[in-house]
Amino acid sequence: MATDLEIARAAKLLPISEIARRAGLPEDAVLPFGRHVAKLALDQLDVLSERAVGHLILVTAINPTPPGEGKTTTTVGLGDALNRLGRRTIIALREPSLGPVFGVKGGATGGGYAQAAPMDAINLHFTGDFHAITAAHNLLAALLDNHLFWGNALDIDPRRIAWRRVVDVNDRALRKVVVGLGDDANGAPRETGFDITVASEVMAVLCLATDLDDLKARLARIVVARRRDLSPVTAQDLQADGAMAALLRDAIQPNLVQSLEGTPILMHGGPFANIAHGCNSVIATRTAMRLADFTVTEAGFGADLGAEKFCDIACRVGGFAPDAAVIVATLRALKHQGGASLSEGASPNPRCLEAGLANLGRHIENVRKFGVPPVVGINFFSGDTEAELLRVIGYCREVHGVEAVVCRHWAQGGAGAEALARAVVAICESRPSLPTFQALYDLDASLIDKIEAVATKVYRASRVSFTPRAQRDIERFEAEGWGKLAVCIAKTPYSFSADPSVLGAPTDHVLPVREVRLAAGAGFVVAICGDVMTMPGLPRHPAATDIQLDSEGRVEGLF
């Protein structure tokens, strides 16, 4: 079987003008970015505002293994399959971060014959959106330090600066740094650190902004520090929001690409639902829904993280809701959740599979709590046995009354996901008789109550523990009027608990919140739990060591 890169390279891509035509985009809205990529001009998309919206399908997953279970691959395969069934479909994906590309995954555009293309361009610099976000974020940091250097007229307390810097690579050495060392010309020394760009509040602002005016208003509200009297200092106070918006002018425009089968893909916004909200942009999703009968989107990691944040954060802002959810599972991940090592998961293991089914069942239950009907997509891997696949199908049907479909889109493209597409269409066609969408918590509840709602209802924790600092910060945020914000919980993606070694479907554990960060511009409060880091590190053997250029200038090593 050819590799992902070989398959992508052999594909005959259509001109981006043809993809735009298939999507039904106004000609003036398409800004070509080479032969196979385009930006969409926001001011030319207004003509779509009066159109009826189509069905929205959310692709999520069980708790994954580190290599991932093929959520993006399934999203692309499902979109291709729906088009094969005659349903006008657009896929809405997140952009890859260089962190996973150079870290574990080596690429993030799907796989096999279910890929977004052009693969190398998307995985590397793409249209520069993440660079613009990095620049806007770090400009705010530079203006903050510059303000301190030139007299600190806002009376900022250097000990209470919350705004860290960002870079879009995994680099554990930057988690904690000291800036301002040297003589007085370099400013005052202070401790700070770096996060990965996808965890930047600026990323969330761009993804959740509904238009340029909303983008500017959200940037202005970003809280970066506190004065000595503990009052907040914003980007607007530093007169930084205007220049930040200028840097993001092009980045807020969604990107148009295609699948290997020519399905239009709007790719816009960042991943990492373990440390960010992990959804593609509201603008891209809304645009796709006005153009297509079906929009297929994805949210990061398992349903305990990505789907929860999609429903509780993105759907509130965007004013949309999924008509159905596909929960991606693999035999490998189910066995891992049942106690098998990653290598053992590739071999038949009925005992570990049986134990791991509880993890899938928990995700089915959680998705239903939002009033969204699920279907399970079993992403087929070579070596999967018929007996084990039938066991998963039987479990879903007998225990949860949910259909589970074996999907072979990696090897067969859209044809391998047609059964999944038919299941999705059947759900959507019966949707009027099904429960209506509902968020997990009311925004009028206290911040602690909202965190506890996610912890107890989704993670099945018995309670939440807060460090004294986290408790004080929550009380301050509520006193300042931020109590009605949503909550974005940062924790390990590999377990329902905050401990990645606790697998399956644990109950009665304690969710430890060590830190709470205010993201006023994004519109949520981030609760950081356990040992999760907002700046990941590289693995022992980074994928970057295999990526290179061949003698013809072509990228090798992506997968």
Q: Which of 22, 71, 87, 450 is catalytic?
A: 71
Is 381 noted as a catalytic residue in this protein? Answer: yes
Check 130, 272, 320, 410 and give the catalytic one.
Answer: 410
Residue 272 CA to residue 393 CA, distance in Å, equals: 29
Active site residue 73: yes
- Tokens 């298939």 belong to which residue? 22
Handedness of CA 164, 169, 174, 179 (dihedral sign): negative
Active site residue 301: yes
Annotated catalytic, 12?
no
The single residue of 73, 74, 234, 492 carrying the catalytic annotation is 73
Note whether 61 and 302 are within 8 A (CB): yes
Which of the following is catalytic: 22, 39, 87, 94?
94
Query: Which listed residue (141, 273, 314, 325) is catalytic?
Result: 273
Q: What H or E segment, with its residue span, contains residue 395?
A: helix 386-400
Which entry of 9, 175, 210, 381 is annotated as an active-site residue? 381
Reduced to 3 states (helix: H, G, I; strand: E, B; else coil), residue 120 is helix
Nearest Cα residue to 356 out of 316, 437, 302, 431:
302
Task: Clarify whether 105 is annotated catalytic.
Answer: yes
Residue 366: which of 414, 307, 299, 446 has the closest Cα? 307
- 550 with 190: CB under 8 angstroms? no
Q: Please give the backbone phi and psi of residue 205, each rounded to the nearest 5 degrees, phi first.
A: -60, -45
The H or E element that residue 101 is part of is: helix 98-102
Helices 129-149, 201-208: crossing angle, 10 deg rounding: 130
DSSP state of 543: G
Query: Given 22, 87, 105, 450, which residue is catalytic?
Result: 105
Q: What DSSP string runs through 327-346?
A: EEE-HHHHHHHTT--TTGGG
Catalytic residue annotation: 71, 73, 94, 105, 273, 301, 381, 410
